[in-house]
Amino acid sequence: MKVKHKIVNIYIILLCVLLLLTGCLENKNAQENIIIPVLSSPTATQIVYSESYPSTPEDVIREFLAIYPDSPVHAIKFLSPAYVQRLDERSALDLLPEQGRPSGFIISQGSSSAESEKSEVFVNIAYNDNTYEAVFSLIIQGGRWLIEKIAQQ
């Protein structure tokens, strides 16, 4: 009986040593594959931020209108540095006619000139029952079209 207890005690000690050694091993794979998604607000669809920059004024406006309602910080890359400097905390949140995501928008007309490095684009922005017309003034800086001003009509 004493021999049986000694064998059980030896097994328990060996098991504890084995668990202790297993816990001390370095596990590189567990930390390399951790992905933590961070969303500012819960949405039905996840927004994908493009790595490439749009090449036309219309595409800049489309990207801006898609990103700005959910993430104004990410949309700042479409604004000219001079426009960003003119904005304060309140006006930065009021660039569009209403808060929240527009139900739709139509780029109705515009004039662009790569030679003069300026563009004016008229956009109808819809929010549920209301439609607003806005004029986006863009300039070329550093080879990119940037929004210089958004005016509501």
Domain ranges of the chain: 57-152
Q: How far apart are CA 36 and CA 39, in angstroms?
A: 10
Residue 92: phi and psi, rounded to 5, are -65, -30
- Would you say how long the chain is, in residues? 153
pLDDT at position 1, please? 66
pLDDT at position 88, please? 85
pLDDT at position 40, please? 41
Q: Which amino acid, 129?
A: D
Q: How far apart are CA 70 and CA 49, in angstroms?
A: 12
How far, in whole angstroms, is CA 102 from its chain's centroid?
Answer: 17
Query: What is the full per-residue pLDDT of the chain (153 aa) written as tens digits?
Result: 676 766 766 767 766 666 666 665 554 444 433 444 444 444 443 444 456 899 899 999 999 999 999 888 889 999 999 999 998 878 888 888 888 889 899 988 778 777 788 999 999 999 988 899 999 999 999 999 999 999 988
Q: What is the pTM of this model?
A: 0.63
Q: What CATH number should be reported for the domain whose range is 57-152?
A: 3.10.450.50
Q: How far apart are CA 145 and CA 153, in angstroms?
A: 22
Each residue's pLDDT tens digit, 18-59: 666 666 555 444 443 344 444 444 444 344 445 689 989 999
Residue 143: phi and psi, rounded to 5, are 80, 10
Q: What is the DSSP string of 94-138?
A: -SSSSSS--SEEEEEEEEEETTTTEEEEEEEEEETTEEEEEEEEE
pLDDT at position 59, please? 93
